[in-house]
Amino acid sequence: MLRSTLLNSPAMNKRFVTHVRFVESEDAQLVVDLRSNPHLNQYISKTDVDVKAQRQWIFKYKEREMSGDEFYFVICHDEQDLGVVWMYDFNDGSFCLGSWIFRPSRPSGLVTFSAVMIYEMGFDALGFNQSHFDVRLENKRVIDFHLRSGAEPTKRDDVDQFFVFPKSKWPRFKENCVTQIHAHRIAKS
């Protein structure tokens, strides 16, 4: 996958109040703060809470980003870094969406709009045919969100519900998110 292709996506356009940008080593503290917060990390894999170790992980990740193997984003709104999301496990026309986490204080609709941005990059910019992901069974709110968005359950185990979100569902999801798009895709003044 070409990193440069993503730079042309509206999701990465820094002229908009809400956009994403590639994570940088300077974001290590943000990642640690989000992923070590017990109110936010209940349903995601554990990570090292050492900022220096996180910085090293990001440094190594940047090589995978440059080769187009995966993309880790910071979700920005009004000059504030409010969350992170990861696109990885690119195979057979599918990408995995994961490590999606936000600060508790965020604008209304930002979570939904961030899904719009991720699907916009995955389907429109990179040409994937579907997204695949898993959600912890206890994370009922996120499971409900994905079901409402059009994601299709594929299997489950003792820990996770697995989903795919086919590209064919993307236009309808985008249409249903018009309010969030209008609220967040506004040019900076």
Whole-number average pLDDT of the chain: 91
**Would you state the pLDDT for residue 12?**
92
**Would you state the pLDDT for residue 43?**
67
**Would you state the pLDDT for residue 1?**
54
Q: Report, in this order, helix, strand and coil percent for the chain, each rounded to 5.
A: 40, 30, 30
Tell me the percentage of the chain whose pLDDT exceeds 70.
97
Q: Is the pLDDT of residue 33 over 80?
A: yes
**Would you state the pLDDT for residue 55?**
94
* CA proximity to 43, closest of 125, 117, 129, 102: 102
Asked which of 2-16, 19-33, 117-131, 141-155 is least confident by mean pLDDT, the reply is 2-16
Side by side, the strands of the sheet bearing 80-91 are 18-22, 71-77, 80-91, 94-102, 130-136, 160-166, 152-156
Q: Is the pLDDT of residue 28 over 70?
A: yes
Pull the structure tokens for residue 102.
């936000």
**3-class secondary structure, 5:** helix
- For residues 124 and 8, give the distance between their C-alpha atoms in angstroms, rounded to a whole number: 11
pLDDT tens for each residue of 48-90? 789 999 999 999 999 999 999 999 999 999 999 999 999 999 9
Q: Is the pLDDT of residue 2 over 80?
A: no
**Would you state the pLDDT for residue 125?**
95
Name the one residue in this structure whose structure tokens are 């204080």: 105
Q: Are strands 71-77 and 18-22 parallel, antiparallel or unpaired?
A: antiparallel
Average pLDDT over residues 166-186: 91
- For residues 61 and 9, give the distance between their C-alpha atoms in angstroms, rounded to a whole number: 21
**Would you state the pLDDT for residue 132?**
97
- For residues 124 and 157, give the distance between their C-alpha atoms in angstroms, rounded to a whole number: 31
**Would you state the pLDDT for residue 3?**
83
**Would you state the pLDDT for residue 186?**
85
